[in-house]
Amino acid sequence: MSSSKLITKYLETRNYTEELCKPLAIEDYIPQAAEFVSPVKWHIAHVSWFFEELILKKHLVGYQEFNPQFCFLFNSYYQSVGERAVRFQRGLYTRPTVEQVYLYRQHVDQHMQKLLAHTISSEVKALTVLGINHEQQHQELLLTDLKYTFGLSLLYPQYDTNFMLEADHNITHGWLKCDAKLYDIGHQGDEFCYDNELAPHQVYLEEFEISQTLVTNGEYIDFIEQGGYQKVQLWLDDGWSWVCNEKVSQPLHWHNIDGQWHYFTLAGLKPIDKDALLCHVSFYEANAYATWQGLRLPTEFEWEAASHQLAWGKRWEWTSSAYQPYPRYQINEGAVGEYNGKFMVNTMVLRGASVATSQGHARHTYRNFFTPETQWQFSGIRLVRDQINSGKAHD
Ligand SMILES: [Fe+2]
């Protein structure tokens, strides 16, 4: 990518973040409804800190930090960078003000443009591309975090009346048969990928059939209404503990109002479209649903092998694969080494992308990962059947 293209891509990404904030009131920037979500103000500052800390402070001669306290406030989990504010208190900081955070963004943008206008090293180029991809990830988190926070309000606030991310339907149907053979897995070529997509390698897969549809809301309502959340035998032990302890009985953002299913969307509270694609289910729910159908979730390798022939990109798709390093995986030196590798425990892989994923951020080899109880992403279910496990009627 040439310098001018890199500057253009950088500015497009930065501008899109601010576009996403345009429907917000100033009060919307502050609250943090749970430890796993972050305030909007924190997101838009943190992505700026990433460029400042990893690029400007090291690679732009004479660069002056906008505010030395910001590293403490807006460092997320980079232990090698230093002390940071505890995560669950991100919503307690009313200062710096939102206005100051926007000035911080301007400061970082001016200096990034200054740096990128000159001949830059391959290291700075790679870090800038990483920073752009990092900001795109936070654009999606900004939306899902905001939806979570708004969703807790009984007033069901509307972010934007036209912003209905739940409306997509299946556009393909049937089952796709994949032969038993060796498949190429992992990222190849010179385009950007995260370190966790490397090294490319081969995986042998037995024959399988993967659904060309994602589970719909109507299909999942059948699971609920036929007692899916009450049948212990459908659930993994951890999942059953989660259902009982958290009193889970439906996907996140769902509400049964006078016997009618509704869901909260960023366009407000809406009656559920039964033909639309299910979202906001955890791995535990996805696995229980598959078990109820007499089927199973794909492994991440089956998903990747089949993905070139699937319609995907509207929902993050839970796989049955634990998030583990690929063969010859290497952790980078310095803070960027903390980006992915240290989370390779107690998390499950999701593949594809979602309707909230920023444009240009999706790849066949992309590996998203979350803990198994995670519901607040736009996560859905795709099923697989084997010859011996071809689905069955549930009692
Ligand atoms: Fe981050």
Interval 79-96: pLDDT, tens = 877 888 888 999 999 999
Which structural domain, as residue segments, surrounds residue 55?
A: 3-151
Of 151, 184, 204, the residue at which a domain comes to its end is 151
* Same domain (yes/no): 146, 179: no
Would you say residue 204 lies in a domain?
A: yes
* Residue 333 pLDDT level (bands cut at 50, 70, 90): confident
148 C-alpha vs ligand 1 centroid, how far in Å?
18
Whole-structure pTM value: 0.96
80 C-alpha vs ligand 1 centroid, how far in Å?
14
- 150-177: b or e for each residue (b if 16 or more CB lie within 10 Å)? bbeeeebeebeeebbbbebebeeeebee
Interval 270-329: pLDDT, tens = 999 999 999 999 999 999 999 999 999 999 999 999 999 999 999 999 999 999 999 999
387 C-alpha vs ligand 1 centroid, how far in Å?
42
CATH number, position 380: 3.90.1580.10
Residue 237 in this model has a pLDDT that exceeds 70? yes
Interval 206-217: pLDDT, tens = 999 999 999 999
| Backbone CA torsion sign across 296, 170, 164, 315 | positive
Cα within 13 Å of Cα(36), Cβ side: 10
111 C-alpha vs ligand 1 centroid, how far in Å?
20
Number of structural domains the chain divides into: 2
138 C-alpha vs ligand 1 centroid, how far in Å?
7
On whether the CB atoms of residues 350 and 362 are closer than 8 A, the answer is no
**Mean of pLDDT values over 249-274:** 98
On whether the CB atoms of residues 104 and 96 are closer than 8 A, the answer is yes
Q: What is the mean pLDDT of the chain?
A: 95
Tokens read off for 303: 């998903």
On whether the CB atoms of residues 353 and 168 are closer than 8 A, the answer is no
* Same domain (yes/no): 143, 180: no
16 C-alpha vs ligand 1 centroid, how far in Å?
16
In the prediction, which pLDDT does 388 show?
64
228 C-alpha vs ligand 1 centroid, how far in Å?
36
131 C-alpha vs ligand 1 centroid, how far in Å?
9
Of 102, 136, 151, the residue at which a domain comes to its end is 151
Q: Omega into 96 within 30° of 0, i.e. cis? A: yes
In the prediction, which pLDDT does 392 show?
67
Interval 34-76: pLDDT, tens = 999 999 999 999 999 999 999 999 999 999 999 999 988 998 8
Interval 105-160: pLDDT, tens = 999 999 999 999 988 899 999 999 999 999 999 999 999 999 999 999 999 999 99
